[in-house]
A and B are shown apart, each in its own frame.
Chain A
Amino acid sequence: GNSVTQMEGPVTLSEEAFLTINCTYTATGYPSLFWYVQYPGEGLQLLLKATKADDKGSNKGFEATYRKETTSFHLEKGSVQVSDSAVYFCARASNAGGTSYGKLTFGQGTILTVHP
């Protein structure tokens, strides 16, 4: 079945450090891939997405590239800020037909804490 695996956290960084959060997915079909972010006390917000191989999603300084050969969608940011402290979720949806189209499968989430 579909699954998503994220690197285990928590991740603690100093401000302006480089961030990588690894995410791999099962290669069933050609799924759309997403990163969602959940700030304390808030709901999930879409951070970025990619819908086909070699696509790069980007937003707010975050980037992730859809790598079909390694079935990965790692999240990166060159210089994190304290305000980036949140929980980050990698997710996949299926682009195949049928009733599962659009249903999201999430990773377990990675807690990021950025210190000044």
Chain B
Amino acid sequence: DTGVSQNPRHKITKRGQNVTFRCDPISEHNRLYWYRQTLGQGPEFLTYFQNEAQLEKSRLLSDRFSAERPKGSFSTLEIQRTEQGDSAMYLCASSPNFLAGGPNTQYFGPGTRLTVL
């Protein structure tokens, strides 16, 4: 399967702990996006990368959140000192090179569901 993959699929943690999620995009997609989806809502943009460069961060991304894409392939999203309000589905998406087909068509992974107790 060559789709976007995310690990873990589920994560339960206690308040105050750190968690890290991983996203593997479709190979050769140079743009990678992170979104957060809470129950009953649409996904909200968090941040995105063009290759290894982080080009935009949402105001939703507090100082406790950090994302990396060190080699321009997989990405990690870390949340430090988790809070109950961080409980959500974290979605990753990737899109192809602009020259190839435009960056707007994003392909989503299955998500990581975080529960903070």
* Residues of A that sit less than 8 Å from B by CB: 4, 32, 34, 36, 42-46, 49, 51, 89, 91, 93, 95, 99-109
The size of the chain B interface, using a CB distance under 8 A, is: 26
Are B42 and A95 in touch, CB under 8 angstroms?
A: no
* Residues of B that sit less than 8 Å from A by CB: 4, 31, 33, 35, 40-45, 48, 55-56, 91, 93, 95, 102-111
Are A51 and B104 in touch, CB under 8 angstroms?
A: yes
Are B33 and A103 in touch, CB under 8 angstroms?
A: yes
Whole-angstrom CA separation of A41 from B15 in the bound complex: 25
A and B contact pairs by CB, cutoff 8 A, 7 listed = A32-B104, A44-B93, A49-B104, A99-B56, A102-B103, A105-B45, A106-B42
Are B108 and A44 in touch, CB under 8 angstroms?
A: yes
Whole-angstrom CA separation of A89 from B41 in the bound complex: 9
